[in-house]
């Protein structure tokens, strides 16, 4: 029973349609971070990458608004997220990745290195 409540580390990448306004983009981000928290998850780092080129066109669009969320959550949250992401017409692609301890350490080192670079400038 205790393993069901154990929180796993995940990374969620969302690619929203590029036609969203800045406010719609922020509201869409909030919708999914709120969903994670509401269902027992804990938010980590939030990375709104903004407008980026796609590797290949999706629905005749060559750019998308990227958003990456690191979070901890029970495993059953992924199914709930999947349902909401599939229903949301503003999402062109999405991917949830379970992070092992090495990926979590790597993300932490990468983040610390970026913070050091910013503080040196």
**CATH number of the domain that residue 91 is part of:** 3.30.70.60
Give percent above pLDDT 70 in the chain. Answer: 89
* Number of domains the chain contains: 1
pLDDT at 1 over 50: no
Tens of pLDDT along 33-85? 999 999 999 999 899 999 999 999 999 999 999 999 999 999 899 999 999 99
Over 49-91, what HEC string results?
EEEEEEEEEECCEEEEEEEEEEEEECCCHHHHHHHHHHHCCCE
What residue numbers bound the domain in which 89 lies?
2-120
pLDDT at 119: 64
Query: CA–CA separation, 11 vs 40, rounded Å?
Result: 16
pLDDT category, 118, cuts 50, 70, 90? low
If we measure between CA atoms, which residue out of 51, 48, 55 comes closest to residue 65?
Answer: 51
pLDDT category, 2, cuts 50, 70, 90? very low
> Residue 75 contacts by C-beta under 8 Å, 6 or more apart in sequence?
4, 8
Classify 27 as helix, strand or coil: helix
Query: CA–CA separation, 78 vs 9, rounded Å?
Result: 12
Q: How far is CA 50 from CA 1, 32, 44, 59, 80, in A?
A: 40, 16, 18, 19, 25
Q: What is the pTM of this model?
A: 0.82
């Amino acid at each position: 029973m205790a393993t069901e409540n154990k929180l796993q580390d995940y990374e969620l990448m969302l690619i929203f349609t590029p036609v969203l306004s800045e406010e719609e983009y922020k509201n869409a981000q909030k919708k999914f971070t709120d969903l994670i928290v509401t269902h027992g998850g804990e938010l980590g780092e939030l990375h709104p990458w903004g407008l980026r080129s796609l590797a290949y066109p999706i629905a005749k669009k060559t750019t998308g608004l990227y958003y990456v969320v690191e979070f901890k959550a029970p495993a059953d949250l992924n199914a709930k997220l999947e349902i909401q992401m599939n229903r949301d017409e503003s999402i062109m692609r999405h991917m949830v990745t379970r992070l092992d301890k090495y990926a979590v350490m790597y993300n932490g080192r990468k983040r610390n290195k970026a913070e050091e670079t910013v503080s040196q400038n």
